[in-house]
A and B are shown apart, each in its own frame.
Chain A
Amino acid sequence: MALVPFTGTVDRTVLRDNFDDATAALTAAALLGKTSVDVTHRVDALAVGSGVANFLDFTAPDDMEVVALRVKAVDAAAGRTVTAFLEQTDGDTSFLLDVVFSTPVTTVIGTASATTLYSTTTIQRRVKLLRGVRYRLRLSTTAGPVTSAQVTLVCGLRRRTR
């Protein structure tokens, strides 16, 4: 807040600017206060199949809007497809509106990554994870194991909106 103190006379413009500045600062702080919540699952030596090491179950701590699903794979071989999924733990889809949340990436020799954003208007899928419901982050690979892989779910938690 860029406060301009008065010196005897109350200038209207200065008064207006002072209040504008204060309000703008508070609004910006409120917007910054929108928190994002990350949940990350990492797997060393990601294997083909549906082993228990390939997924992480978690309970949504609050209602959270899905913002992005990110996948990253490190491998010594190219051409394998690693896919990250967001699902319900119980296999039901009722709380995800039957939307398939998945992000694939094709491995290279080294690190490859991909992101699907769910916060853009072009995709038009704005889904909230509901407090208390268990969800699952799952990684899968085809055509062979991958050195390591990780999936990050990014959610928005609107705590300080107006």
Chain B
Amino acid sequence: MSMAWQPRTFRTGGIVDAEDVNDDLRALSRDIKRNADRRYTYCPVVVPLDGMTDADAANTRTIILPVPIDSNGFVVEVVGAEVSLYATAGVTWTVTLDDGTRPVVSIPVVTAGAAVEARGSTDNPLRFTDPKVLTVVFAGGAASTIVRGSLLLYLRIDRFANDGATFPVYDPTLLSAGSSTAGSLLDAELTAAAAEVANDVAAALDIRCECFLVRKQAVGSPVTWSMPSGAGRTALNVKCRQVEAGVATCTVAVTGGSVVLGPGDDTDEFVQSSRTDDPSNTAADTTVTFTPAAATVDLAYCFVWWS
């Protein structure tokens, strides 16, 4: 931890010393770089696995995590994945994570029991940007049902969109006491500094992600959850997916928007309106609801991205 820079004060009647001005320019440069170095935001995403069986169709044993928003170039890294399972028949499950660019990461989750936890984890980093996705596939080694399970993905998100294209860097050209155009030099420096400060401010997003999921959800049994959002949070995007073999559709509604998925294997998304929601009370809760329409939905889930 270091002390915040207090800019030098130039008073009427005093001398505007070039080195004093340079100190301020250097301080701006230092602060911009410091913020840039700490531009990452972190977010664990919990994906529930309850009810999955080894005999389920492959696409219902698969979770696909898309990037937050199309075309904005946000970089999302999975810096860790952790699987916790309680399952019947003492079977080893294998979890593979594939970001399409790096070697597939496989996590064996050894010999889960109905009341005995089996756990596996990886710290291998995975990275994906639009249009890539992270695909997670579960496979049981023998007949087994997950009675209770969760996949935790630890995300690290770079606030600077476009893969660092707006990365603020400011290297000032320092002033000299002998300059005859101090005013225009200062103009140029302050204009450049202002642009980079604006880049830094624009990148101050605390992006987070939340997963909601239903499996084998019957008609007439809509499920509603509340978001754990904070006051003043802005919803960015909701990315939904449904998997089923029949004719079922499922409506996914997040306060402020909704989408009808299916039938079959379908994906869709919608942009939410800004929400102000304090989760410590029950007023104006942002909720997520899954409503199957005509038949049981094998799997439906959505990732809600927040800022």
Contact = CB atoms under 8 A, between A and B. Distances in A.
Interface of A: 1, 3, 5-10, 12-13, 15-16, 18-20, 22-23, 25-30, 32-33, 35-42, 44, 51-53, 56-59, 61-62, 68, 70, 72, 74, 110-115, 148, 150, 152, 154, 157, 159-162
Nearest to B159: A33
B201 A25 contact: yes
A57 B84 CA distance: 8
Contact of B46 (A9, A56, A74): A56
Contacts of B228: 38, 40, 70, 150, 152, 154
A15 B16 contact: yes
Contacts of B34: 30, 162
Contact of A8 (B86, B115, B159, B183): B183
Contacts of B119: 57
Given A42-B225, A113-B281, A162-B1, A16 B43 contact: no
Sort A-B residue pairs by CB-CB distance and give the 3 closest, nearest first: A115-B280, A19-B7, A12-B10
B39 A23 contact: no
Interface stretch (B20-28, B60-68, B100-108): B20-28
A113 B183 contact: no
Contact of A15 (B21, B86, B193): B21
Contacts of B186: 6, 10, 15
A42 B187 CA distance: 55
A16 B7 contact: yes
Contacts of B264: none
Interface of B: 1-12, 14, 16, 21, 24, 27-28, 31-32, 34-35, 38-44, 46, 48, 50, 79-80, 82, 84, 86, 114-115, 117, 119, 121, 147-148, 150, 152, 154, 159, 182-184, 186-187, 190-191, 193-194, 197-198, 200-201, 203-204, 206, 208, 210, 223-226, 228, 230, 279-282, 285
A70 B152 CA distance: 20
A36 B121 contact: no
Contacts of A53: 50, 147-148
A50 B146 CA distance: 18
Which of B28, B193, B228 has most chain A Cβ within 10 Å? B228
A141 to B, nearest CB: 17
A12 B148 contact: no
Nearest to B202: A29
Given A20-B7, A29-B35, A39-B46, A72 B226 contact: yes
A115 B147 CA distance: 30
B299 to A, nearest CB: 16
B280 A68 contact: yes
A8 B184 CA distance: 7
Contact of B31 (A26, A39, A72): A26
Given A37-B44, A38-B228, A112-B282, A61 B80 contact: yes
Contacts of A58: 44, 46, 82, 152
Given A61-B154, A113-B282, A152-B228, A3 B200 contact: no
A70 B280 contact: yes
B206 A28 contact: no
